[in-house]
Every structure is written in C-alpha cells, then in structure tokens.
A = this chain, B = another copy of it.
Amino acid sequence: MDTRTGLPVVGMVGGGQLARMTHQASIALGQSLRVLSVSPDDSAALVAADVRIGTHTDLAALREFAKGCDAVTFDHEHVPNGHIAALAAEGVKIYPGAEAIVFAQDKQRMRERLSELGAPVPRWRAVSSAADVVDFAASLAAAGTAVDASAAGGSGAGWPVVAKAVRGGYDGRGVWMLGDAAAAEELVATGTPLIVEEQVPLRRELAALVARSPFGQVAAYPVVETVQRDGICVEVLAPAPGLSEERAVEAQQLAIDLAHALGVVGLLAVELFETDAGIVVNELAMRPHNSGHWTIEGARTSQFEQHLRAVLDYPMGDTSPAAPAVVMANVLGGPAGGMSIDERLHHLFADDPGVRVHLYGKQVRPGRKIGHVTVLGDDMTSVRARAARAARRLQEGE
C-alpha cells in the first residue's frame, strides 16, 4: 500500500515496453508501477517514477524489490522459476505463480500438461538425439499427418519438422525448421534442450486472451488474428475476420479452461493455429501480450489495466470492443539513415490524424520492435490498410 495515496503498489519485474504500458495503465488506477529494470535506459525505466535497478536472475534483488509491493508480476518469462517459488514461500504475492508460469517458461512442460488436459496440440516429442528427431519424422509420415513435404521444403516423408528450444525462445528465436536428419544432427549437437513438433498445415494464426484473478474470476477478449513475418508478429486484427462465432467461443473457452487448469493469475495469451480441422495451441504467454496491444484503445478495458486488476484481485473490466474493426501493427526499427523517428512521426500525423501511436522510447535498430500503431474503424479492409501504411511510415520514413 502506498501510504501517500491509500492505493496498492504493483511491482513488475522487467523494464520493457510491457512494463512501460502497464505503468501508463496504473496511473489511471491511482497507482505508480514499481519497475525492476536492468538498465535506467530501459523502455519502462524512462517513464516510471519508481524504478529499481537490478537483474531478474538475482534472488536478493527480487526480494528487496518485492518489499512493500501488494503484488509482484512480470514483463517477461525469464525470472527463474525457483526464485518465484522462493518469494511466494516467503509470503510475496507473486503472479502468475511458479507452478503456473512454468508452462510459459518450459515448452516441454507446457506440451506435456496440455496433452494431459486433452487440449488440442500439434503432435510433438521431447528429443535428445538426432535419431529421436528422425524417428519422430517417420512417425508423422506413418500417421499421414505431415504436410506435403515437397511443398514445405522438406527432404522426404515426415519432414520438415519444427524444433523448438525448451526454454528462452521468443519472436522467432529458438524455433528451427529441420529439413532432414543432417539438420537435426547439427541442431542437437548444440546441446540446446529441444522438443520437435509437426508442422501444422495452418490457415492462419489466432490468439485468445483472457485474464484470471486469484478469486477465480475470468474475462475473455475477442479472439484476434495475428499475422507473422519471419516469426515476428507484425499485425493483429480484432476481431479475427471471418471467424465463426462457434470457433471464437471455442477458442475463448479453451483459454478460460487453461487459465483455470494451470492456475494462472493475470493475463493468459493462448497463441493458436487455425487449421481446416480446427484450432491447436501453439504457445502460451502469461503477461500482457503483443496480440493484446489493440485493447488500449480498441477495448473498454486495456489488457494492461486488466492484468493489474487481476493480480490485485480487483473485479475484471469490460472486454467489449470499442469499434467494429481494430488493427494493431507493430513498428520495427528500419534501416539506418534517412529521417529521424521524430520527423517520421510528424509525417505520419500529417498523413493520418486518426492513427494512435505508441512509441517505446527505444533506440532504433533494424528489426527491433520500437512501437506500434492502432487504427479503429468500421471496415476491416480500410482500417488494416491505414495501420499498415502508418507502421511503414514510422518504420521506413517513406
């Protein structure tokens, strides 16, 4: 409790853009987010009043940080699970808890648990040798579930297979397409703990975002379509165009069931593949998620406020959309040179006064997520075109 205001203090471990936008949301609730940041120049550290410098792998720093916090939560999944368990054992209200967040930290544990729960997942296997990978590919070929190998660039029946690092991957990192036994051999030799999965014949990717409080109240956002390029989310369309009501409810229900079953407190983003046969779970995240940035203006309650409400055990906010069509487009750092980011912003504002801009205060580096734009409107096609054009202007200064 902040004695100056009579309102709670939430601490967020990590100083990235998620913490930055959570701080923005906390201001409306009369709070000021406490941020544990590696550097004073991190995205959230540039804007928050209460910043502690420290690393998320340092238990002593986490312990000190948590003192006086009514709840502690995360900007990322990289806090060691044992540290989270240790803090909880000492009485810190830390959400999501160690026994929940492990499923967002460890893809093998996630796949095991989801399989146990009967949730739809791709065929997968934990592997420790190239022979395991070859065997898995052969099993896919035998089951006839693999996509057409020649079309997908594989070297034969069952190939390619998708290999994922069990821990630490994000934004396309930690994911490899293995076309043959030789590629498998090479990857396994690096010593990275791996799982392999079938390449799902997807139509598109979707995401279902829910929040759950310790009390057990759950709120679900409309299901969105996420558009990826090189493994990085570039666009989110809300709601997912042409998604049947039946499938939308199925995806929301799946996310709600998982939030309860895994004991998640806070946000749970379920990344989904949509196939001809239905939906399968790709990844889980338990924090504000890129697929939910559209909610800042596009939903009555933003995901950032919702996450704060959840970890503080406040009743959940209204997740209704604020417009029939909402598109969020990520802004990646463009090539060096040319117009400054400030000049680009001038041009964008002159070009389209209705675009909502979110810049993260990050140094521009090629390919780095430096911000996002959101456009609201009645017609998805025109809204999408405006968002893409705006993101391009900020990215390339064209």
What residues make up the interface of A, taking CB atoms closer than 8 Å to B? Answer: 1-2, 4-8, 20-21, 23-24, 26-32, 41, 45-49, 51, 219, 297, 300-301, 309, 314-318, 320, 322-323, 340-342, 345-346, 349-350, 353-354, 356-364, 371, 376
Contact = CB atoms under 8 A, between A and B. Distances in A.
Most buried by B among A8, A28, A31, A300: A28
A342 B20 CA distance: 23
What copy number does this chain have within its complex? 2
Given A28-B357, A317-B353, 18 more contacts: A2-B46, A4-B41, A4-B361, A5-B359, A5-B361, A7-B361, A24-B27, A26-B47, A29-B357, A30-B371, A31-B361, A32-B361, A47-B49, A49-B49, A301-B353, A309-B349, A316-B353, A317-B349
A31 B362 CA distance: 10
A20 B323 CA distance: 27
Nearest to A309: B349
Contacts of A376: 300, 322
A309 B345 CA distance: 11
B49 A6 contact: no
Contact of A341 (B7, B23, B360): B7
A8 B48 CA distance: 17
A4 B300 contact: no
B49 A349 contact: no
